[in-house]
Amino acid sequence: MRRIGANLLILSLSGCRGAQSALAPAGEAAEHIATLYYWMVGSATVIWLLVIGLATFSIFSKKVYQRRVTGTLVIGGGAVFPTLILTGLLCYGLQMLPELNSPAPAGSLVIEVSGVRWWWRIRYLEQGREPVELANELVLPVNEPIEFKLNSEDVIHSFWIPSLGGKIDMFPGRRTRLKLLPLREGNYRGVCAEYCGTAHALMAFDVRVVSRAEFNQWLAGQYQSAREPLDDISRRGQHLFLSRGCSACHAIRGTRADGVVGPDLTHVGSRATIAASLLPNNVEQFHYWLVATSEIKPGAEMPQFDMLEPDEADALARYLRQLK
């Protein structure tokens, strides 16, 4: 029994840290939200103890009280006290809103994110430059406010990086926005927080918060065209990519592939994961994803390429993995 209790405690506490925890804040908004959460849990605990204490006392007390005393207790404890506490918490929560809702100052980095069943289209909109598109990964400079423009290409999704801030819905045909200010470098995870269909739970993205210098270097790399195949197997992979229909949906800048339906794969080999934060990024997993897509992500728009010979799938996997 004691062991079950200890395991339950470990399980419940393990949600308090890690790359996807609102209780391990690494952003300004997330810190406000975590503080509000602790105030609410603290207040609720005190009230619960008070109520349990009073209930226990009343059960065991033999004394008979006058109506006046009990009336005061009921009105005080049942109406006045909750009104004061709830109003206090409401005001505390409301005073956070203007700051959390304000847009990032002019000149801040702007990133457009679209929810798509079941992945994320990401565009970095730098002033005076063509937008650069990638998918399922955000790299952000630390200590700088970032303005997110959010929308959806199909159904309602919801954009949420628990470690950095609050969540906001993404609607088709409408734009919502969110400001985030990452305060600590590190690796975090974003998720979709609105049920959007079969693969809702398999729609995540990686977030890397880095120094300004590292960010500049990374972004400059994203603007580059794709790297040429490094060896004969990768060259065969590129040929298969262009001849077997992949390029109808996917773009690889610097090649003939200019599809816009699926994720841009120009630098897919440099991402931390593949398939919207579902699989580690290596040749074996690329191979697995290509031939077992519908088993890995039921409902995915991408058809399963299980008609490929193993050496063909391997060549494709090697080509994609070296697109760094």
Residues within the interface to ligand CUA (CB under 6 A): 115, 157, 192, 194-196, 200, 203
Q: For residue 189, what are the β-bridge partners?
A: 206
Nearest to 315 by CA among 244, 252, 253: 244
Nearer to ligand CUA, 266 or 277 (CB): 277
Q: CA distances (Å), 259 to each of 81, 246, 251, in order?
A: 61, 8, 5
Residue 150: CB minimum distance to ligand CUA, A: 12
Nearer to ligand CUA, 192 or 226 (CB): 192
Cα 96 to chain centroid distance, Å, stands at 22
Residue 198: CB minimum distance to ligand CUA, A: 10
Residue 184: CB minimum distance to ligand CUA, A: 27
Q: CA distances (Å), 136 to each of 61, 114, 119, 186, 271, in order?
A: 62, 10, 6, 17, 8
SS3 of 60-91: HCCCCCCHHHHHHHHHHHHHHHHHHHHHHHHH
Q: Is 246 left (phi over 0), alpha (psi -120 to 50) or beta?
A: alpha
Q: What residues contact residue 191 under an 8 Å CB cut-off, 6+ apart? A: 20, 160, 162, 203, 204, 205
Nearer to ligand CUA, 162 or 229 (CB): 162
Nearer to ligand CUA, 39 or 171 (CB): 171
Residue 137: CB minimum distance to ligand CUA, A: 16
Nearer to ligand CUA, 147 or 194 (CB): 194
Nearest to 259 by CA among 216, 295, 301, 290: 301
Residue 195: CB minimum distance to ligand CUA, A: 6
Nearer to ligand CUA, 132 or 191 (CB): 191
Nearer to ligand CUA, 5 or 173 (CB): 173
Q: Residue 32 is inside which H or E element, if any?
A: helix 28-60
Cα–Cα distance between 259 and 257 in angstroms, integer? 6
Residue 159: CB minimum distance to ligand CUA, A: 9
Residue 194: CB minimum distance to ligand CUA, A: 5
Cα–Cα distance between 154 and 215 in angstroms, integer? 31
Instruction: Output helix, strand, coil percentages for the chain, rounded to the nearest 5.
Output: 40, 20, 35
Residue 25: CB minimum distance to ligand CUA, A: 23
Nearer to ligand CUA, 113 or 196 (CB): 196
Residue 249: CB minimum distance to ligand CUA, A: 19
Q: Among positive and negative, which fits the CA dihedral 73, 79, 81, 82? A: positive
Nearer to ligand CUA, 144 or 153 (CB): 153
CB 152 within 8 A of CB 115: yes
